[in-house]
Chain A
């Protein structure tokens, strides 16, 4: 469990950014992962009074605030309307409803854990993220960036016509961390496919066919940890790529 001396509700994203420049301060997202550490913080910066818990729609994209909870992602009718069960599939295995009512989109994305279902799911969607200082960035760029002290406020998911999406993961138990995550989108025959839970960050692959992707996936790193060996993950990658591609070929819109 962490310790902290001060607790500040940021009055604006800029305020949060300023506070977050001090290395001993930290943004408080859902609090679920933060508590696993034993760090001593000076100030916890709470974004929960900035109205960042909304999912909004424009003509061309959905905009999600950083404080949207994983449970909101799972149950949002808007997300379901455009992406079917995709956002439910990438969240419903995460611990439990109570956990998902705490954990946030921003927390998951900013942490960029290698095993993140959320990061894996966002990678193939051509998203943008908004940071207080850096402004709007492609999500793929952000996902690969080193950690800095900027503050994430929003994520935009473009509403692409004829996009098909599918999310699958494998886990030793149904609510455990994944042994492999796999998310794919298909737009005009071009497949973008993210594979996570295999190294420090999920990776995004592109290809026109299943065999393209299988070939690309062979060059990725597959680490060994308590949940699985490198060989098992490599094997799972093959299986999940085949499965999501079969699903995409099935041509449902959206696919799930």
Chain B
């Protein structure tokens, strides 16, 4: 079936199957930042934006994105590097496998919430699992990032 969408600002038309997930489609399109860590919609590794909203690409059929705008970390390289530098300065990226999905959600949060409290930050990001960092360094990075952007906690 035919799928037309805007992927990281580029209009794409592709043939996909009815049961192809957005995750599989994006990996096939070379968006290899998008990772899969579970089969049960629990880990948040596959987070991308669908019309600017963070979603689990493993749970969204590719065809549902028809006519929509999809953004992955490949399309947000400058912002990824900007926030990522704060994460790196804490050493909190650790293995990095959850970083793309996590950063997609941090960037979504920074657009959606103005001056979030610490509790709001933790709740917004609760769907992003990380087994390495214990989350503390991620929070330090977010605080510094938001403070630098004027959206301080």
- Asked if A and B form a direct contact in the complex, defined as CB atoms under 8 angstroms apart, the reply is yes
Across the interface, do A30 and B61 meet the contact criterion of CB distance under 8 Å? no
Partner of A36, one of B21, B40, B55: B40
Across the interface, do B61 and A101 meet the contact criterion of CB distance under 8 Å? no
Give chain B nearest CB distance to A85 CB in angstroms. 13
29 pairs, CB–CB < 8 Å, chain A vs chain B: A1-B19, A5-B19, A6-B1, A7-B18, A9-B66, A28-B61, A30-B59, A31-B60, A32-B41, A32-B59, A35-B21, A35-B41, A36-B40, A95-B41, A95-B126, A96-B128, A97-B108, A97-B109, A97-B125, A97-B126, A98-B47, A98-B55, A99-B41, A99-B59, A101-B50, A101-B53, A101-B55, A174-B126, A175-B126
Give chain B nearest CB distance to A222 CB in angstroms. 25
Map CB proximity to B onto A59-71 as digits: 1 under 8 Å, 0 otherwise. 0000000000001
Across the interface, do A102 and B44 meet the contact criterion of CB distance under 8 Å? no
Across the interface, do A102 and B61 meet the contact criterion of CB distance under 8 Å? no
Given A46-B64, A96-B128, the answer on whether A102 and B19 have CB atoms closer than 8 Å is: no
Considering only residues 1-42 of chain A, those with a C-beta below 8 Å from chain B are 1-7, 9, 28, 30-32, 35-36, 41
Q: Which 4 A-B pairs have the closest CB atoms?
A: A96-B127, A7-B18, A4-B18, A4-B19
Whether A57 sits at the interface, judged by CB under 8 Å, is no
Whether A140 sits at the interface, judged by CB under 8 Å, is no
Chain A interface residue number, banded: 20 to 34
Give chain A nearest CB distance to B107 CB in angstroms. 12
CA of A99 to CA of B19, assembled, Å: 19
Whether B124 sits at the interface, judged by CB under 8 Å, is yes
For B105, what are the chain A residues with a Cβ–Cβ distance below 8 Å? Answer: 97-98
Across the interface, do B19 and A2 meet the contact criterion of CB distance under 8 Å? yes
Across the interface, do A32 and B56 meet the contact criterion of CB distance under 8 Å? yes
CA of A1 to CA of B58, assembled, Å: 10
Given contacts A96-B127, A174-B126, 9 further A-B contacts (CB under 8 A): A4-B18, A7-B1, A31-B61, A32-B56, A32-B59, A46-B64, A95-B126, A96-B128, A97-B108
Whether B28 sits at the interface, judged by CB under 8 Å, is no
Give chain A nearest CB distance to B152 CB in angstroms. 21
For A41, what are the chain B residues with a Cβ–Cβ distance below 8 Å? Answer: 19
For B40, what are the chain A residues with a Cβ–Cβ distance below 8 Å? Answer: 36
Whether A92 sits at the interface, judged by CB under 8 Å, is yes
CA of A30 to CA of B41, assembled, Å: 11
For A102, what are the chain B residues with a Cβ–Cβ distance below 8 Å? Answer: 41, 55-56, 59-60
A46 nearest CB neighbor, chain B only: B64
Across the interface, do B64 and A101 meet the contact criterion of CB distance under 8 Å? no
Across the interface, do B54 and A101 meet the contact criterion of CB distance under 8 Å? yes
Considering only residues 31-64 of chain B, those with a C-beta below 8 Å from chain A are 39-42, 44, 47, 50, 53-56, 58-61, 63-64
Whether A170 sits at the interface, judged by CB under 8 Å, is no
For B78, what are the chain A residues with a Cβ–Cβ distance below 8 Å? Answer: none
CA of A99 to CA of B59, assembled, Å: 8
CA of A39 to CA of B121, assembled, Å: 37
Whether A44 sits at the interface, judged by CB under 8 Å, is yes
For A1, what are the chain B residues with a Cβ–Cβ distance below 8 Å? Answer: 19, 21, 39
For A126, what are the chain B residues with a Cβ–Cβ distance below 8 Å? Answer: none
For A35, what are the chain B residues with a Cβ–Cβ distance below 8 Å? Answer: 21, 39, 41, 58-59
CA of A96 to CA of B47, assembled, Å: 11
Across the interface, do A3 and B19 meet the contact criterion of CB distance under 8 Å? yes
Across the interface, do A31 and B126 meet the contact criterion of CB distance under 8 Å? no
B109 nearest CB neighbor, chain A only: A97
For A98, what are the chain B residues with a Cβ–Cβ distance below 8 Å? Answer: 44, 47, 54-56, 105, 127
